[in-house]
């Protein structure tokens, strides 16, 4: 069968690809729903969006992309048998993940202080659902990066980096749609 050979050509774990595609479908559907509901109340959505902390989110984009770069480097270094550098890069990537979460936490705390929650406006319901669900993946990703830094088989690192790039990619889709789109 031709599809079997295509699947065999995929780098990394097949199950990780299944997970990645599933995640992209979920976040994609969430963004489509967000934009669909936005059509019903453009003014309300624009008003609600003006409460967001865009600088923090832009900073977070830089943090997460740098972290992704480190995870990618880690695999290169590990394949070049440079285990020490690879481990350092993975721990560095995880640390940047934590930085992302701290900035995100500051953002959430600010919203809470303003009395903004899930039920304030449909915009905020999607905001919390999408960014919260993404943040949960960052938490998981930090754990996975540390796990593969410890169990540093190249295949493990590849799977960890695959997951981490997915988390990156999702953020890069969320950021413009939720924070910037006017």
Partner 1 sequence: MKYQSQRIALAYFAVAMALFAVQVLGGLLAGWIYVAPNTLSELLPFNVVRMLHTNALIVWLITGFFGAAYFLIPEEAEREIHSEKIAYLQLAILVIGTLGVVVTYTFNLFEGHWLLGKEGREFIEQPKWVKAGIVVAALLFLYNVTMTVLQGKKTAITNILLLGLWGLALLFLFSFYNPENLALDKMFWWYIVHLWVEGVWELIMASILAYLMLKLTGVDREIVEKWLYVIVAAALFSGILGTGHHYYWIGTPGYWQWIGSIFSSLEVVPFFAMMAFAFVMVWKGRRDHPNKAALLWSLGCATLAFFGAGVWGFLHTLHGVNYYTHGTQITAAHGHLAFFGAYVALNLAIFSYAMPILKNRDPYNQVLNMASFWLMAGGMTFMTFVLTFAGTIQTHLQRVLGDYYMDVQDQLAIFYWMRFGSGLVFVIGALLFIYAIWMPRKEVVEPGPVEQDRLDKDPDHVAAEG
Least spacing, CB of residue 94 vs partner 1, in Å = 24
Answer for which of 42, 46, 83, 118 binds partner 1 (CB under 8 A) is 118
- Element containing residue 7 per DSSP (H, E): helix 2-9
Find the part of the chain contacting partner 1 (CB under 8 A) among 10-18, 56-64, 78-86, 96-104.
10-18
Answer for which of 77, 100, 123, 126 binds partner 1 (CB under 8 A) is 126
Cα separations (Å) of 5 from 1, 2, 8, 14?
Answer: 7, 5, 5, 12
Nearest partner of 52 among 175, 150, 157, 159, judged by Cα = 175
Find the part of the chain contacting partner 1 (CB under 8 A) among 23-31, 60-68, 139-147, 165-173.
23-31
Distance CA 101, CA 131 (A): 11
Find the part of the chain contacting partner 1 (CB under 8 A) among 20-28, 58-66, 104-112, 173-181.
20-28
Find the part of the chain contacting partner 1 (CB under 8 A) among 41-49, 124-132, 143-151, 152-160.
124-132
Distance CA 14, CA 107 (A): 36
Residues of this chain, 25-54, that bind partner 1 according to CB under 8 A = 25-26, 29-30, 33
Distance CA 134, CA 79 (A): 30
Q: Count the site residues for partner 1 by CB under 8 A.
A: 18
Distance CA 107, CA 169 (A): 21
Question: Does 24 participate in binding partner 1 (rule CB under 8 A)?
Answer: no
Distance CA 131, CA 65 (A): 16
Question: Does 139 participate in binding partner 1 (rule CB under 8 A)?
Answer: no
Note the residues at the interface with partner 1 (CB under 8 A).
1, 4, 14-15, 18-19, 22, 25-26, 29-30, 33, 118-119, 125-126, 128-129
């Amino acid at each position: 069968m031709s599809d079997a050979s295509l699947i065999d050509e995929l780098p990394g774990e097949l199950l990780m690809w299944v997970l990645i595609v599933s995640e992209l479908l979920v976040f994609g559907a969430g963004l489509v729903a967000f934009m669909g509901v936005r059509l019903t109340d453009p003014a309300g959505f624009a008003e609600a969006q003006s409460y967001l902390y865009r600088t923090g989110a832009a900073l977070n984009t830089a943090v997460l992309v740098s972290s992704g770069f480190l995870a990618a480097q880690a695999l290169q270094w590990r394949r070049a048998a440079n285990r020490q550098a690879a481990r350092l890069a993975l721990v560095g990537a995880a640390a940047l993940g934590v930085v992302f979460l701290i900035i995100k936490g500051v953002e959430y705390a600010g919203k809470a202080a303003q009395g903004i929650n899930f039920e304030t406006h449909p915009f905020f319901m999607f905001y919390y659902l999408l960014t919260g669900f993404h943040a949960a993946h960052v938490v998981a990703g930090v754990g996975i990066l540390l796990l593969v830094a410890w169990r540093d088989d190249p295949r493990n690192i590849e799977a960890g980096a695959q997951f981490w790039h997915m988390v990156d990619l999702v953020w890069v889709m969320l950021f413009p749609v939720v924070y910037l789109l006017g």
